[in-house]
Homo-oligomer: A and B are copies of this chain.
Amino acid sequence: MSTYLLLIKCPDAKGLVFKITGILFRHGVNVISNHEFVDAENDYFFMRTAFSGEVPETLVDELRAVLPENSDIRLSREGKRAVVIFATKEPHCLGDLLLRHAYDELPATIQAVVANHPDLEPLARQFGIPFHLVSHAGRERAEHEAEILRVLAGYSPEFLVLAKYMRTLTPQFLAHFPSRIINIHHSFLPAFQGARPYQQAFERGVKIIGASAHIVTEELDTGPIIAQGLLPVDHTHTASDMAQAGRDIEKFVLAKALKLVLEERVFLHRNRTIIFE
């Protein structure tokens, strides 16, 4: 007997929980967990229900009939999600994900690694994961992305993970995976613009190094935040030590965020995430 995940997002209205749970109750399913949240500021309703049992084909239609128009209803089977990882040269995030995948810490099937540099091919291969080099050298951005899409066509990933992939993606590319691309990047208090952020952090004497994982939207590095983490540093840390702290917290935060996303715990609404842990 499968476990199902039902995700509903719609304008708030009276009786939503009653109506939804009523349909589930009449079908005799066994509710395992139930989360709701009402965003009072925006009058929006979010619900995630995990249940086991027999599900009629009509379930989504039955739900749609009692919910407000334009409700977003998503029903899926619990299980591993197909993922392709994008990388460039840095191994820390990719390596951590491959290890977790190998030892079953992530509800994911990593189908392939796509990179614009060859450096990480040995790492992917030692874990038995196909590696695709799609160099951007001498290619227009559209051509490069078209080539990546051809590679992805050989798989059917539900999610893409940018594990220190150092290229921006065009809105045209993003449209193929709406709200289904996860990125990780360093974060500082205060924020630094421009190049060599760890050098800037060192020069400012920051005491905390952070990382943020977010859903990729058209504005680079400013999509809705899924998870954040931090590590303390001090004046004895060189810029290079701070970069090491950055790597340590980046890999932890990316794995945490990815697990939340793969378990379908993350709703996106405007520029915020609602996360049912």
Contact = CB atoms under 8 A, between A and B. Distances in A.
A37 B236 contact: yes
A235 B272 contact: yes
A11 B244 CA distance: 28
A36 B38 contact: no
Contacts of A238: 40-41
A103 B95 contact: yes
A192 to B, nearest CB: 9
Interface in A1-41: 14-15, 17-18, 21-22, 24-25, 28, 30-41
Contacts of A228: 189, 206-208
Contact of A208 (B210, B244, B248): B210
Copies in the complex: 4
Contact of A247 (B15, B105, B208, B244): B105
Interface string A59-98: 0000000000000000000000000000000011001100
A168 to B, nearest CB: 17
Contact of A273 (B33, B235, B248, B256): B235
A204 B271 contact: yes
Contacts of A203: 270-272
A222 interface: yes
Interface in A128-187: 187
A56 interface: no
B38 A14 contact: no
Interface residues of A, number: 71
Given A91-B99, A189-B210, A208-B230, A21 B25 contact: no
A34 B17 contact: yes
A271 B205 contact: yes
Interface string A191-203: 1000000000011
A63 to B, nearest CB: 14
A203 B33 CA distance: 19
A18 B24 contact: yes
A237 to B, nearest CB: 8
A209 to B, nearest CB: 10
A32 B40 contact: yes
B212 A190 contact: yes
A234 interface: yes
- Kindly list the 6 A-B residue pairs having the minimum CB-CB distance in the complex, ordered from nearest: A205-B272, A18-B21, A191-B191, A95-B99, A15-B25, A207-B228
6 contacts: A17-B17, A22-B22, A105-B244, A205-B271, A206-B225, A207-B226
